[in-house]
Structure 1
Amino acid sequence: MTFDDLERDRIAACRELIAARAFAAEHLRGVLTHDRSWDAMQRLYLATLERKEFLQSWFAPEVPANAHRIASRLRSLGLIATSIDPRDHRRILVNLTKQGQTAMEAVIDYLLCAGFARG
């Protein structure tokens, strides 16, 4: 699998953003850093960039009902689409919609322009 320079930069920026959120959550003990929908969008965007499938259960692996709530919220905002995995009907696949992809690219590209990360 090959990535162009922009894709590599976006992957690096997204990984740094995820790491920064985890670092802040650890040091602030979750205060001001608790938004599971935003965290889910970051992980889904990274999986999309890396051309990996993403399961709804990965939104909140510790509590399946939370994963469903997160997916419902993001779906109602038009940011994701879900479908049943044809290989295993118990699994729900998640993909960014065009709107979700565009929104995440705008955030990551803003961070890149601000010098947040470079692959």
Structure 2
Amino acid sequence: MVDRDPEPLPYDPARAPELAGRYENDAMTLVIAADGAGLTLEVGIKPEIPASESEMPADHPAESVGLLPGDGEEYIVTGGGLKGQRGFFTRDAGGAVVGIALAGRLFGRVPAASM
């Protein structure tokens, strides 16, 4: 028996704008971008976090991600150093995307005006 990652859904350019954006927590920044052919995810440690905090993961350049079948809120990283990592988007009561989770860490969406 071989355990394989699930196959992501085809890229949907109509959904990309609601997901793309910058998300942050106290130590890290995560950027979801749409390049016209798919979604990418980039992860970075905030510059104000001391390098001596060795428990922090390394920065990761933009890597491809795909939404998973189901409610379309879950995703999987499909390339690079985070390949196979899964996460999900969170929404507010009105249905707007307000956050994202990756590797057990929650990131809140940064409003476009403050980026």
> TM-score, length-normalised on structure 2?
0.31
Tell me: higher relative CO, structure 1 or 2? Use CA pairs within 8 A at least 6 residues apart.
Answer: 1
In terms of fraction of residues, the more strand-rich structure is 2
TM score, norm. by length of structure 1:
0.31
